[in-house]
Structures are given as structure tokens and as C-alpha cells.
Amino acid sequence: MAKKVVPEEARRRRRPTRHGVVVTQQLIVETALRMLHEHGRDGLTVRRLGLALGADPSTLYRYFRGIDDLTLAIADELIARAMHGRRSTGRWRTDLREIGLRIHAAYLAHPEAAVLTASRVSGRANEIAGDETVLGILRSTGLPDADVVRIYQAFVDQALAFSALDAASLALPEEARAADERVWRATYAELPARTHPNIAALAPLLVARMNDSAYPTALEMLLDSAEASIGRARRDTDPDHA
């Protein structure tokens, strides 16, 4: 049977570690984020975490059920960082755009953690609060509930999918990433129009864009689609609505 995880205050370490710090759940999460950045996903182990904290490795189990439970806490922390300091404007499109870009930026600031967590559902406080916020913004438009859920799913999945895709590129070794980026100039830009007329015609534009994230463009396309749905919903409920 899994060991019961008790509340933070009940399990706080009373004495500092040999590094002179008191271990908390937040400290473990922040240390794990640093380890992922420095050592990659394979470097996040209970033993290494204990060494980094200056504590016995078993300390982790006072706060988490294991590495997977810690992974979910890291996912929740990334959402917390994305939403920190956000202020509502009351304009649904502006607010959703900001949230999407904030999520993308928060994940790309920690690419190894992003690749590890983007596909996970933590069910923790910050994730739930973020979902409540997005759903509230969409409901404020007057959309039917089914459309709210449809657009919410597309919005969240798009943000996380692009975060994982772009983070995976950033998490590559520098040499591999640079080699991938050179392909557009060294290969695609040199293809002859005789055999690849479409690539050749668009080569300068492709070279200029393809090493950048498409997320901002994709996000605007999703928001355009949402705006069209809102317009249809308003016409359906008020035929005289312009």
C-alpha cells in the first residue's frame, strides 16, 4: 500500500539540511526543475535529488509518493508560473491570447521539464485554477456549453502540444539543434525548381519562418475560429444581432 502523504506543515523537516536549508515541497520542486535543466530527464533521480538538497534521498517520500508524483507537482508549478501576475482585461480574445502565450513561454523556459510534463494531467491546485479561468473566459462570451468545452480542449491541447514540440527542440544538444536549423538553408533552399517547384518558389519565406515557433500563428487561427463560433451563437439566439 502506498504511503500516505500528509500535509506540508505536518511533514516539514524541523532541522536544516547540511546545506543550511529547511526542506519544503516547494524547494524540492524548484530543485528538481534545476536538475532537469542541468542533467536532463534521465538525471532526475531520488539519489541525485537528495544530494542536491543536502538531505537523505528518502526525504522525497515525506512530500511525494515518488518521482512520478513529483513530476505532477512540476507540471503544476509550470502552470503556476505561467499564470503568476496575470490580470484580466475583460476582453475574451485578449485574455485567452495572453494565457496561451504565457503557458508557451513558461514551458519553454524549462524545456526538459516541459517535455516531461506537457502530456500529464496533475489535477492539482494551479492546474485546476487555470482551467477554471479559461472556462470562465469562454463562458463569458455566451457560447453554448458544448462549444465552450470544444474550444477549451482545443486551446489547452494546442498550447501544450506546441510547448512540448518547441521544448523538445530546445532540449536537443546544441550541435543537433544547430544542424536541424541549418537544414532549411543548406537543403530546402537549394532544391531546384525543376524537381520541387513549390519548395523552390517559397524557399526564402520558408527559410525565414521555419526555425521559429508557429504557435503564435496557430493561436490566432484558433481565436479566429472561436470568434466565428461566438458570432454564430449570437446570431442563433438573436437573429437581429448585427
Q: What is the pLDDT along the chain (242 residues), one digit of tens a residue?
A: 444 555 555 555 455 555 567 899 999 999 999 999 999 988 899 999 999 999 999 999 999 999 999 999 999 999 999 999 999 999 999 999 999 999 999 999 999 999 999 999 999 999 999 999 999 999 999 999 999 999 999 999 999 999 999 999 999 999 999 999 999 999 999 999 999 999 999 999 999 999 999 999 999 999 999 999 999 998 887 766 55
> Cβ contacts of residue 3 below 8 Å, gap of 6+?
61, 65
- State how far the Cα of 114 lies from the Cα of 144, in Å rounded to an integer: 32
- State how far the Cα of 11 lies from the Cα of 94, in Å rounded to an integer: 42
- State how far the Cα of 70 lies from the Cα of 68, in Å rounded to an integer: 5
Which amino acid, 163? Answer: S
For 23, left (φ over 0), alpha (ψ -120 to 50), or beta? beta
pTM of the model: 0.87
- State how far the Cα of 135 lies from the Cα of 112, in Å rounded to an integer: 28
**Alpha-carbon Rg of the chain, whole angstroms?**
23
